[in-house]
Amino acid sequence: MDNKTLLLDKIYNGKIFFFAGSGISYNSGMPSAGKILLKTAELFLPSGEKYKKEREKIIFDENKYHIQPEVFYENLLNITNSNDALSLWKCLSPYYFQKFCLPIVPNINHLFIVDYSIKNSVPIFTTNFDCLFEEAAEELNYQYQVILPYSNEEEEIIKSYNALKNKEDTVYIFKLHGSIYIENYDSIETLHTTMSSITKINFPIIEFVEKLCENKYIVFVGYSGRDIDYFPEIKKRTSKLRPFWIDKFTNEETNNNCKYINALPISCYPDKLLKEIKPQYYRSKPEISEDVLENIFTDLQNSIKKKIMFNDENKKLLLGLLSSVIGEYKFAYNFLLNLYKNNSFTNEKKIILLINLSQLAHEKAKFESCGFFAKKAFKMTKHDLSLDSYAIFTLSQISEYKRMLIPHIIDFSYKINYIDYFFVFTSFIINGIKIKRKIEKLKFANSNKVSDTLAINSSLEHEIRLIAILQAIAKPIINRNIIFISNYLKKCLKNKLKKIENKSRSYGYAPGIANCLKYKIRLDWKKGESLEEVHIYELLTSKTGIETALRDRAQYLFENSNYINAKKCFFEMFKSGFKCGNNLNAIKGLLGVSKCNKKLEVSPLLNQYELKKLKNLMDCVEGKIWQRYFIKVLNDLNDGL
């Protein structure tokens, strides 16, 4: 029996439930997420030919954008500090469709799923913001209830399902990322549009889905698996009942996700399959005039302009921040540095600017500049308690700049100076105590500001970097392979990283999850790369993260004596670091090439082009200890290491 026939059999026998993504709404004529992102960018990024090239690197059109939307909105909300910045999502609201006399047309996907779910007493799970499931229920004259994440209703409905006491005449729609419209009003406050909100794991829902999978087959429709709050957890949990996945599978990542969970693929669009079962529900895509949609966006944009004052300098600040996020470190650093020299920002915006300059200086290996900007920002926060969240950022960054002043490419001609590490470790402990106190105040205040969420994330990063110091100190001992001591140190470090990883998942800090996985891998290179780590870095469009994953893959290949492929990965790391402006990663890439060449008995270890690039990159790194270290590295390279 083929997969399609098998699925049809399960549908007819009521043995499935649906997990739906945004792809099911395409044929209803709703504006796409890419269109909404594009219109938001038009409103909040600087206009004109001067900035066109950099704008298009972030988002070219509604079908081609180089940034995870949640990353875009997180940065936008951090600057505007207002949920009104999300108001363009209201274009999905029934209110706006009615206002502009547009049809709200649920398609066969919505109609079928609602009809099936109520008749078989199973819930619907969807990551969609739109209200087409609700409209489908109304059209079919069914009762429905929308369940928002982390709500009291969510807990109650899960309990009633588990106790088999759910109402059979009501379809329950679990809207996993919020809803644009609920109980007759627009509800942008419920939308999960930031990385923190879509990273935080909703364990009650995950466990509920897992329990349903004991007796029912989960069917993914219009879903890519690109989220990092639900799908990674679903992947970890095995079920004796194999999932079904309906998709055209034109996207490689969706195809890989389907294979990863051993799902049974149905290679067609959902509406085509469902049409075979309920042809009466099928309807063609409604003709909606582009001019009318433009009028909706114009109306919403004008409304936002009245509520949020966002001048040209703020737009430039956002452009710089987003350019940094997509790995345009060279442009972002120079652009924000120029903005810093010629700005009239209020304290809060100026601190955001300084923090980002500090982070960009870190990426470019300008470690002394990193400390300069961080200290300057911290000084601005000292006498204003309302700026405590930014103080946490700056304290974390001050500790990090001190850590980065010490060379740590320990594969190459470097012996740990424990005195240097002692002073850095002490700085981390002192700043860690200050950060902990400030975090307790933030939690007590129970603020929902994005800056507070980002501050908590920064505190987690501070903990990870402290473990990185301990790992660097322990590395020479671990490498000696003294069985009991090495294994004990590895176990201790892994346990500490696991605790921080769990906290990162709880708070929704995606980079923290990836970084913990990174350091765990580095305790035992031969275990290979972490696919989840790579997935998160790609979602974040983090060039540094992707280069880090390349390094981990290269080191894995190197440890397994696959020197030719390891060399290719190291060279890719160099090219990526050089292109985006991450000088230290570019240096690490070339040094990786040299150590592969040594194993392959290639002489010289670096050719003239590579050696010239290496020297130029080394000149860009700030820090006296680094420069002394590089002299030794170059001498050793000339001697063949």
Last residue of a domain, one of 467, 482, 514: 514
Mean pLDDT of 602-621: 94
Report the largest interatomic distance among the alpha carbons of the chain, rounded to a whole angstrom.
81
**Mean pLDDT over the full length of the chain:** 90
**Is the pLDDT reported for residue 185 higher than 80?**
no
Query: 256 with 236, same domain?
Result: yes
Q: Does residue 597 share a domain with residue 553?
A: yes
Per the structure, the count of domains in the chain is 4
Whether residue 579 lies inside any domain: the answer is yes
Kindly state the tokens that stand for 367.
């470690």
Q: How far apart are the first and last CA of the chain?
A: 61
Range among 3-12, 94-103, 219-228 with highest mean pLDDT value:
3-12
pLDDT the model gives residue 640: 64
Residues 23 and 148 occupy one common structural domain: yes
Q: Residue 348 pLDDT > 80, yes or no?
A: yes
Q: Specify whether 242 is located in the same domain as 133.
A: yes
Which of 514, 543, 567 terminates a domain? The answer is 514
Q: Are residues 539 and 609 in the same domain?
A: yes
> Which three-class secondary structure string do you get for 372-420?
HHHHHHHHHHCCCHHHHHHHHHHHHHHHHHHHHCCCCCCCCCCCCCHHH
Contacts 24+ apart (CB under 8 A), 528-531: 528/556, 529/553, 529/556, 531/260
Residues 413 and 537 in one domain: no
Neighbouring-strand partners of residue 378: none
Q: Which domain holds residue 70?
A: 34-100+289-313
Q: Cα torsion for 641, 610, 400, 379, to the nearest 10°?
A: 140
Give the pLDDT confidence of 32-49 residue by residue, as tens digits. Answer: 889 999 999 999 999 989
Q: What is the pLDDT of residue 410?
A: 57
Single out the residue of 34, 46, 513, 540 nearest to residue 327, CA to CA.
Answer: 540
The answer to whether residues 414 and 498 belong to one domain is yes
CB atoms within 10 A of CB 153: 13
Residue 351 lies in a domain: no
- Percentage of the chain surpassing pLDDT 90? 61
Domain closes at, from 491, 514, 537: 514
Q: What is the mean pLDDT of residues 350-369?
A: 96
pLDDT at 641: 58
Please tell me the least confidently modeled range out of 109-113, 171-175, 323-327, 484-488.
484-488
Per-residue pLDDT at 564: 96
Query: Is residue 344 assigned to a domain?
Result: no
Q: State the average pLDDT over residues 4-10.
A: 94
Considering the domain architecture, whether residues 451 and 567 belong to the same structural domain is answered as no
The partner residues of 557 in beta bridges, in order of sequence, read none
Both 300 and 407 in one domain: the answer is no
* Residues 334-337: contacts with CB under 8 Å, at least 24 apart: 335/54, 336/360
pLDDT at position 396: 96
CB neighbour burial string for 458-471, b if at least 16 within 10 angstroms, e if fewer? bbbbbbbbbbbbbb
Q: Tens of pLDDT along 487-517?
A: 899 999 999 999 999 999 888 898 999 899 8
b/e string for 156-183 if b means 16 or more Cβ within 10 A?
Answer: ebbeebeeeebeeeebbbbbbbbbbbee
Same domain, 120 and 259: yes
Per-residue model confidence as pLDDT tens digits over 294-321: 999 999 999 999 999 999 999 999 999 9
**Is 448 contained in some domain?**
yes
Residue 63: inside a domain, yes or no? yes
pLDDT of the residue at 529: 62
Identify whether residues 149 and 210 lie together within a single domain. Answer: yes
Whether residue 348 lies inside any domain: the answer is no
List, in sequence order, every residue forming a beta bridge with 563; answer none if it has no partner: none
Q: Has residue 519 been placed in a domain? A: no
Model confidence at 567, pLDDT cuts 50, 70, 90, reads very high
Cα separation, 243 vs 245, in Å, equals: 7
Assess whether 476 and 588 both reside in one domain.
no
Judge whether 359 lies within some domain. Answer: no
Tokens of 108: 């066969």
On the question of pLDDT at 626 being above 80, the answer is yes
Q: Is residue 71 a contact partner of residue 167, using CB atoms and an 8 Å limit?
A: no
